[in-house]
Structure 1
Amino acid sequence: MRRRRTGQVMLVAAGLLNLLPGVGLVAPGRASAAYGVDIAGADLETLMRHRALLLALVGGLAVLAAFRPRLRAAAIAVNAVSFGSFTVIALVTPAVNTELTRVAWADVAGLLVLSCGAVLLGRQDT
């Protein structure tokens, strides 16, 4: 029981980390500050808002999956891809700014929390 609850808390925590950028959907200026980039023009703002929506969906799935075992495999997979892909892209891109480096480290932490949650939940609830 304790193992399952701890795993659920970790899945929720990882989900919230991916949900957090969803604020950029309604407040693009927040994304600009968080990523340290100038969101100049409607085109870039649209792309950043779309990114915020997708991350919110991914994070929301993890939060939901903490309480719906049948969704866990998919939620863990898409959240891991989300965290891991940004981290890799940031690593291979030269001269990434300080804010994006901080976001990449947050994604590393999110991936670790997600992985620990996945291990704790295991296959016990499927």
Structure 2
Amino acid sequence: MNIDDFISSNKPRSKKSIFDEHLEDINKLLELNYSQKQVIEYLKAKCKNKTGLSEQNLSFYLKKSKNKVSTELKNTDDEKSNKVIKENVEKKPIDIFANLKGKDSKTSLEQDMLDFVKELKK
């Protein structure tokens, strides 16, 4: 049997949580300030003979799904802000010594470099 035959005859098993199927109900109960324990009681009554229905599993699931949503939001926000920054900001070199010198004065290094460039042009 080659790999193409195997792929065509078998579906991949996806890891699905029992909580995925009832996410809307879970979110609604949590928004109405029901405790996780009460949510688990509801799910046990609704889904008889299902394993994995525990407060700890629900807590892990909610943390994982919350991180997923927040990272997706953060990524889209970062992309938008990067686009705005790139469009609006023209990058200029920063002179960290600008406030230490007068407007017309040049440091000896700057003056030496200017003199050197002038000599090269000649």
Give the TM interval when normalised to the shorter protein.
Answer: under 0.3
Tell me: higher relative CO, structure 1 or 2? Use CA pairs within 8 A at least 6 residues apart.
1
**Which entry has the higher C-alpha Rg, 1 or 2?**
2
Tell me which protein shows more helix as a share of its residues. Answer: 1
